[in-house]
């Protein structure tokens, strides 16, 4: 356990171990092998951020560089899954999903239901999410709520290397379509990761910090901002419980509700836009189920309802910060 590796390496290891274990697993996406127009060294690149680096040398044609046509290859992956393969398709940025909504929303998500439970669609779509990367409005969105809205899809957002490996392995073994969201700013983050294969079950939130005054519910990069806020608040004797949802569909309501029953206060933090977000979803559930447990109004900390700005100084104030989270926590404590 003493071995620390980055989230990038953890994802690579998960793909590697599952490809070694199961011959039906294959990987496809833009530039995942060598990239178009490379100098002939096919394995040079391994994806825009290097997640698939080294796999081509081991598994050869089980890694497929695709044309720049998301709707075509996501459709191919969904079809292959319906025919018994376990494809992992990399769709570089979640911002580009729009062109394959039919393949995802109407096909992959519906097969099991429309074929009376007899069809499985074990496809994984890996994609990058999130801001703070100076990548402008079309490459910085989170968009997770679009996918949690659709029954039949599973939505996974790891916040660290340990979770990334175990959740990706579970995603590949799962028989339903999974949208696997990797935050761009977490690829380099290192944590303890076992060498052996392991799967983290879906629908099990992680309580990353225990506290008795306020519950902060979040996921992805915001877990780290929430932890920073909790550390700052602890100096003022405000003890926050921080819940990392890990999977947004299915979502672990039990852990959230149990925590808020204990603390009586809730702050939902979501890097996505505020309307119809994970933050608003969690807020609604808590007020519906355990309104009487609340000692103060629920607070939400999200990005604003605007595109992600390209200007670095604007992008910095656009994203929820530890300060904003701490301010929201203090508001719930004032009541």
Partner 1 sequence: MSEKRIIPIVMPKWGLSMAEGKLASWLMKDGDSVKAGDQLLEVETDKIAGAVEANEGGILRRRIGQEDTIYPIKTLIGVVADADVPDADIDAFVGSYVVPVAEEGEEEAAGPRYEFADTAAGRLRYTKRGSDDNTVLLIHGFGGDLDNWLFNADALAEGATVYALDLPGHGQSTKKVDEPTVAGLAKAVLSFMDTVKIDKAHLVGHSMGGAVAIEVARLAKPRVKSVTLISSAGLGPDINMDYIDGFVASASRRDLKPVLENLFADSGLVSRQMVDDLLKYKRLDGVGDALTALKNGVFAGGRQAALLADALAASGVPALVVWGAEDKIVPAAHATAAKGAKVEIIEGAGHMVQMEQAGRVNGLIKVMIGG
Q: Which of 67, 117, 196, 305 binds partner 1 (CB under 8 A)?
A: 196
Out of 9, 144, 255, 303, the only residue in the binding site for partner 1 (CB under 8 A) is: 255
Taking the least distance from each CB to partner 1, the nearer of 63 and 200 is 200
What is d(CA 245, CA 85) in angstroms, rounded to the nearest whole number?
29
Among 22, 102, 204, 236, binds partner 1 (CB under 8 A): 204
Judge whether 129 and 157 are in contact, CB under 8 Å: yes
Whole-angstrom distance, CA of residue 272 vs CA of residue 256: 19
Q: Nearest-CA neighbor of 220 among 303, 311, 283?
A: 303
The answer to whether the CB of 300 falls within 8 A of the CB of 332 is no
Q: What count of Cα atoms within 13 Å lies in the side-chain half-sphere of residue 119? A: 20
Binding track, positions 121-160, relative to partner 1; x by CB under 8 A: ----------------------------------------
DSSP annotation of 105 reads: I
Selected binder of partner 1 within 23, 54, 60, 201 (CB under 8 A)? 201
Query: Which residues, in sequence order, are CB contacts of 6 under 8 Å at separation 6+?
Result: 161, 187, 188, 189, 190
139 is catalytic: yes
Separation between Cα atoms, residue 201 and residue 121, nearest integer Å = 18
334 binds partner 1 (CB under 8 A): no
Segment near partner 1 (CB under 8 A); pick from 72-80, 83-91, 196-204, 317-325: 196-204
- Residue from 131, 145, 166, 320 binding partner 1 (CB under 8 A): 166
DSSP assignments along 231-246, one per residue: HHHHTTT--EEEEE-S
Q: Is 254 in the site for partner 1 (CB under 8 A)?
A: yes
- Scanning 42-50, 141-149, 198-206, 280-288 for contacts with partner 1 by CB under 8 A, the matching segment is 198-206
- Out of 139, 213, 224, 273, the active site residue is 139
Give the catalytic positions in this structure.
139
What are the residues binding partner 1 (CB under 8 A)? 1-2, 162, 166, 194, 196-201, 204, 206-207, 210, 254-255, 258
């Amino acid at each position: 356990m003493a071995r620390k590796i980055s989230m990038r390496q953890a994802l690579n290891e998960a793909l590697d171990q599952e490809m070694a274990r199961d011959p039906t697993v294959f990987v496809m996406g833009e530039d995942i092998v060598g990239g178009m127009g490379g100098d002939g060294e096919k394995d040079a690149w391994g994806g825009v951020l290097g997640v698939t680096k080294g796999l081509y040398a081991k598994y050869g044609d089980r890694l497929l560089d695709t044309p720049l046509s998301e709707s075509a290859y996501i459709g191919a992956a969904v079809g292959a899954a319906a025919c018994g393969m376990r494809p992992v398709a990399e769709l570089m940025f979640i911002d580009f999903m729009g062109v394959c909504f039919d393949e995802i929303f109407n096909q992959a998500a519906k097969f099991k239901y429309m074929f009376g439970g007899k069809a499985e669609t074990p496809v994984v779509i890996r994609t990058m999410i999130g801001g703070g990367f100076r990548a402008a409005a079309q490459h910085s969105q989170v968009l997770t709520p679009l996918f949690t809205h659709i029954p039949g899809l599973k939505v996974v957002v790891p916040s660290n290397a340990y979770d990334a490996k175990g959740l990706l392995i579970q995603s590949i073994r799962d028989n339903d379509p999974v949208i696997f969201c990797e935050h761009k700013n977490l690829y380099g983050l290192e944590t303890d990761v076992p060498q052996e294969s392991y799967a983290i079950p879906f629908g099990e939130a992680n309580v990353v910090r225990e506290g008795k005054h306020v519950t902060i519910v979040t996921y992805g990069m915001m877990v780290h901002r929430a932890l920073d806020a909790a550390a700052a608040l602890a100096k003022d004797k405000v003890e926050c419980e921080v819940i990392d949802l890990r999977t947004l569909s299915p979502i672990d309501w039990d852990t959230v509700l149990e925590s808020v029953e204990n603390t009586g206060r809730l702050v939902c933090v979501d890097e996505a836009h505020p309307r119809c977000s994970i933050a608003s979803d969690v807020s609604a559930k808590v007020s519906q189920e355990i309104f009487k447990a609340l000692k103060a109004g629920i607070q939400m900390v999200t990005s604003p309802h605007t595109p992600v700005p390209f200007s670095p100084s604007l992008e910095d104030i656009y994203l929820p910060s530890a300060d904003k989270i701490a301010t929201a926590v203090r508001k719930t404590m004032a009541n």
